[in-house]
Amino acid sequence: MGDKMVENIIRNILKKYGLKEDKKRLEHIKSTLEFFNGLNEEQIERIILENYTIGESFFFRDGNLWNILKRYFLEDKNYKILSLGCSRGEEVYSLSFILNDLNKDYEILGVDASYERIIQAKEGKYKYWSVRKLNESQINKYFDKKGDYYFVKEKYKKNIEFKTENITSTIRKGGKYDIVFLRRVLIYFTEAQIHNILNNIKNILNNNGLLILGHGEFYPYLTELFEFEIDNNVVLWKNTTKTYNNRYKKLISFNKNNNIKNINNINNLQKPMEPNNKKKKLIDSIVNISEDEYLEIIEKLISEKNYVFAYNLIKKIADNSLNYLIWKYKAFLEIQLNLDYKDSLNKAIFLNPDDEELWNMKNYGR
């Protein structure tokens, strides 16, 4: 099988699952396929899914979240929960532990694209790494230890189903859920796929149902679909009657034909608009992510003309950054908000004097 054919197969599989092309992962996959020569397309697909998604997890990951959810499970009803990208099942069983302790009825569906991880989830067999956050009392309560392995006790496997499936297929099938977990999954999808996934999740969530993302995980258009509550730095996205405005806008290019408002009126500068307390908490909750992830969020906010939110977010990281894009976007946002942009622009130019758009921006003020 030639290199060109292999690349086409890989791209078709990524397209099938709506996964973004990532150069580092693609190179790793290619080298793996070269080592295991002669694989068929089904085997290639499995290798891609095993290597393209993160399988590492542990029980009660993000401790604050589980304590907050205990307060959510107050009604006497049958809770229906969907765990998307459930990996080896730690998240699903963590829910089972809590709901059993609270004596609640429940049905949990765990879905992952990896066949191997779903097999492990069904078996409920784990190494110490997965239970490392639990104390001895919890381990004895929830697991049977055999040799070096920890097996989930049978009582906690009831009313749980695991499926190997593309998550986009799962959420298109309908059904209604009280909670959908989607932690650290959307990072692997294209922007168009993320829009569709979030919109479909809204449709399968019950009214006031919750969408749970990873700690610090944020996508700007979430605020168009859901209300949010913040408790102990944990963000809960609640389904409401909000409607979705499906907008695709490109980041504004800094060329001489752009109509950037009030840039020449440097004497009429405004104070930056501060977000309300709720949005400030949301901004503060976006933590422990890379600068590249911050940039991705800020770019999306700019594309949706959510300049105030973007500006208050970029201020969190700008002072400690030597990335010219951070300063470039900060200058752009200051222009849009009629603020003094010169310091940010000069820093961006200093860091990357070859960026023609920066000089175009500078020429606006003349």
For the beta carbon of residue 64, count every other beta carbon within 10 angstroms: 12
83 residue type, one letter: S
Phi, psi of 308 (to 5 degrees): -65, -45
- The pLDDT value recorded for residue 243 is 54
Name the pTM for this structure. Answer: 0.62
DSSP string, 109-168: EEEES-HHHHHHHHHTEE-HHHHTTS-HHHHHHHEEEETTEEEE-GGGSTTEEEEE--HH
Q: What is the pLDDT of residues 219-241, one digit of tens each?
A: 777 888 998 888 877 889 999 87
For the beta carbon of residue 175, count every other beta carbon within 10 angstroms: 10
- The pLDDT value recorded for residue 211 is 96
- The pLDDT value recorded for residue 89 is 94
- The pLDDT value recorded for residue 255 is 40
Nearest to 316 by CA among 341, 343, 352, 291: 291
What residues contact residue 356 under an 8 Å CB cut-off, 6+ apart?
none
- The pLDDT value recorded for residue 50 is 61
Is there a contact between 78 and 106 (Cβ–Cβ < 8 Å)? yes
Q: Which residue has the tokens 């600068």?
A: 291
Name all contacts of 69-77 with Cβ < 8 Å and 24+ positions apart. 69/95, 69/98, 69/179, 70/98, 70/102, 72/179, 72/210, 73/98, 73/99, 73/102, 73/104, 76/104, 77/105
Is there a contact between 291 and 325 (Cβ–Cβ < 8 Å)? no
Alpha-carbon gap, residue 70 to 237, rounded angstroms: 16
Torsion of CA 156, 161, 166, 170, to 10 degrees: -120
Can you state the percent helix, strand and coil of the chain, rounding each to 5?
Answer: 50, 15, 35
- Give me the residues of the chain with pLDDT under 50, please: 244-271, 366
